[in-house]
Structure 1
Amino acid sequence: MKHEITFTRLPKIDPTKIMAHMSDPRVAEHMPLLTFEWDEAAVAKFVATKEERWSRDGLGHWAILLNSKYVGWGGFQKEGNEWDFGLVLKPNSFGLGTRISRKAIEFAIADERIPFITFLLPLSRKNFGALERLGATLVGEIEYDGSAFLKYRLETE
């Protein structure tokens, strides 16, 4: 069976699927900025905020599908002059991270607006081998919105 990964916009996903995904404690374990309960209003605000990024920056976060089924969300978010890549998968799809990231990196390499990608990983993450195998290098530890993260950078040019 072929495993086709595709990206689509978040409004195309049933909000209850996003709510169930983001309410899973295994997801929250590595998301220090996740400090609220996900309900219908939270999902609506989340999707609207991500769509605003698309309107403002021409790029943003996608819903990620495997064989047309929702497995998570991720993509690029402009932070100042940098394009940060984030990926939040459902627990049963955690193993797809490298494949999805490679596809997104291919997108970034083809997009002249993105000379490099940054990645912010919470200190709770212990395995960074996959990110390093993708070619990212550690920039250092930073604080973002009151939480500590390790920042990596990957050149796309």
Structure 2
Amino acid sequence: MIPPQGTRSEPMISFTRLPEIAPDEIIAHMSNPRVAKHMPLLTFEWDRAAVAQFVAGKEERWRVDGLGHWAILSDGRYVGWDGFQKEGGEWDYGLVLKPGSFGLGPRILRKALDFAIADKRIPFVTFLLPPSRRKLGALERLGAEFVGVSEYEGAGFLKYRLETE
């Protein structure tokens, strides 16, 4: 698990499993138009059934792969989710924050990458980003390299790869 991190001047970031989050919190998060704008696979309405299916699917990854997605907390408050999901032989990292928490992204990503570097199962991480994402400099500054356009579930994504070994 990723240990909590924070200082007096910045919020404490911690992680928990998605079943610990109230379904209404996830519904509000994933129904936000600013979030949906960058999620081409988000073609349905989020309700309690959608949340139950989403959480069950993410928990199944933990069971099968021994790793999956976490809910992210900032000072104990749900601000989004992130984690690693095995896609074929690759570990893909995803991060989806609530609009009011977008600024926490670099800190959370750094913690996730530190985790990946320490985990010998993860020789590299991939990132699938929607073409609507224009600001990719931070990812490139970390050393991620553009691999190409990749199709996933019928949608095109910009694929990046970052070596962790």
Gaps of 5+ in 2: 1-8
- State percent identity of aligned pairs: 73
1:143: Cα distance to partner? 1.1
Report the number of matched residues. 157
27-36 or 136-145: bigger deviation: 136-145
- The answer on whether the counterparts of 1:102 and 1:134 sit within 8 Å (CA) in structure 2 is no
Q: Deviations over 1:7-62 (max 9, x none)?
A: 11000111110010000011000000000000001001100110000000000000
Which residue of structure 2 aligns with residue 59 of structure 1? 67
Which residue of structure 2 aligns with residue 78 of structure 1? 86
The one-letter amino acid of 1:53's match is: R
Cα RMSD after superposing both structures: 0.7
Moved over 6 A (4+): none
Residue 138 of structure 1 is aligned with which of 129, 146, 150?
146
Residue 7 of structure 1 is aligned with which of 1, 7, 15?
15
Q: Deviations over 1:104-139 (max 9, x none)?
A: 000000000000000000001111011112221111
Which residue of structure 1 aligns with residue 96 of structure 2? 88
1:2: Cα distance to partner? 3.5
Whole-angstrom distance in 2 between the partners of 1:123 and 1:18: 24
Q: Normalized against structure 2, the TM-score is what?
A: 0.93
Residue 57 of structure 2 is aligned with which of 49, 64, 81?
49
Which residue of structure 1 aligns with residue 156 of structure 2? 148
Gaps of 5+ in 1: none
Whole-angstrom distance in 2 between the partners of 1:152 and 1:2: 29
Whole-angstrom distance in 2 between the partners of 1:135 and 1:75: 19
1:144: Cα distance to partner? 1.0
Q: Normalized against structure 1, the TM-score is what?
A: 0.98
Q: Secondary structure at the match of 2:80?
A: strand
Q: Deviations over 1:80-109 (max 9, x none)?
A: 000000000000011111110000000000
1:78: Cα distance to partner? 0.3
Please show how residues 103-122 of structure 1 align to structure 2 within 5 Å: 103-122=111-130
